[in-house]
Structures are given as C-alpha cells and as structure tokens.
Amino acid sequence: MKTTIHTKNYNVSDRLRLIIDKKLSKLDKYFGDDAACTIVCVKVGDVEKMEVTITARGHAFRAQDENRSMYNNIDIVLSKIERQIVKNKEKLQTIIRREAVDEKHLAYISKSQAHKFTEQVVKKNKSFGIKVLSDKEAELDLATLDHDFFVYADEKTNGVKIMYNRGDGSVGIIEITNASVKK
C-alpha cells in the first residue's frame, strides 16, 4: 500500500513513521497493491489529530481520532477502519480480498467485537422535493428542522448541495458536481 503523510503544525518523527508503516502493513491483507493511504497529522494546542484515508478500487475507508498522542491515534484509527471492513465485508467483496476477512486473522479488533457487527439493512425510504435556496436559507432550514443534514439546490448554479452539522459545531457543505435540478 502506498502511503503519503501530510502534516500541519506537526513533525512526524522517524520512529512514528516506522510505527505507522508497520501497523498499516497489517491491513495490506485486505487490499491489493493498488491501494493508497493518505494520513493527515495536525496539532492544535495540546490536541493531536490524525485522519487516515485508504482508497482501494474507487472506495474510501476513512477514520480520524483526536488525542494527546499520535501514537495512540494510529491504533484507534486503524481499529476503526478494520471495523468498517468487517462490518461491511459482504458489500465490499469486490473491493477487498475475500479471504482476508477471516476472524482468526483480525489485526486490530477482537473476535468478540467482530460478532457485534451485523449487516446494515435499509429500514426506511423517503422521498422529497428539493428546494432551490441560497446557502443562508439552507442553513436556516437545517437549524429549524433539527436534522444532521439538509439537501437543496443552489439558487445560483442549480447544483445539488448537502449542508451538514460538523462535530465542532460549524456547518459544512458538500457540493454534488455531476447533478442538477430543474427549476
């Protein structure tokens, strides 16, 4: 797996780089040689944040953690990614190596944890019309609906956008680039 490390206000030591490479190699069994891993290490005050994204055959596995130590973060983040793989192993059979998701070979989670994960089933389908709004109007709708996200069409471009509540209390926008809505 090709690994790239980006930093912001943080210097990755040779020791940490070796530990990251060693721990990531335990996940190689899930992916082919074409997999790529991007790690972002950021330090804000006393808090060190690590984001790991593994991309394989067009699918991304992503996890992050904030802690006082990148050494703790790597274990937590890789555990989260392995849980994603085990939880979705049936859906992911075209992306990961089938034989890799065997409970006796788990690297970061225990067999008992693996049994907790069940296949997710779609319980409810909803359909709704998309309103044409400005970002400010969408932000108001997001706040008044008490949802975690809101889908709307941008009044300037007619492009579909998703506004969502971020973990830090701010709002983010995802802009869908290959879809538009008729007025």
Domain with 68, as residue range(s), is 2-116
Domain stop point among 89, 116, 143: 116
Residue 90 and residue 172 in one domain? no
Q: What is the pLDDT of residues 143-177, one digit of tens each?
A: 777 678 889 999 998 889 999 988 888 899 999 87
Domain count, the chain: 2
35 is a domain residue: yes
- Residue 145: other Cβ atoms inside 10 A: 10
Is residue 74 within 8 Å of residue 101, measured between CB atoms?
no
Q: Could you list the mean pLDDT of each consecutive 10-residue stretch along the chain, which spans 183 residues?
A: 93 94 87 86 93 84 91 92 76 54 51 53 79 89 80 90 88 81 59
Residue 146 and residue 71 in one domain? no
pTM over 0.75: no
Is residue 54 within 8 Å of residue 60, measured between CB atoms?
yes
Q: 73: part of which helix (H) or strand (E)?
A: helix 70-87
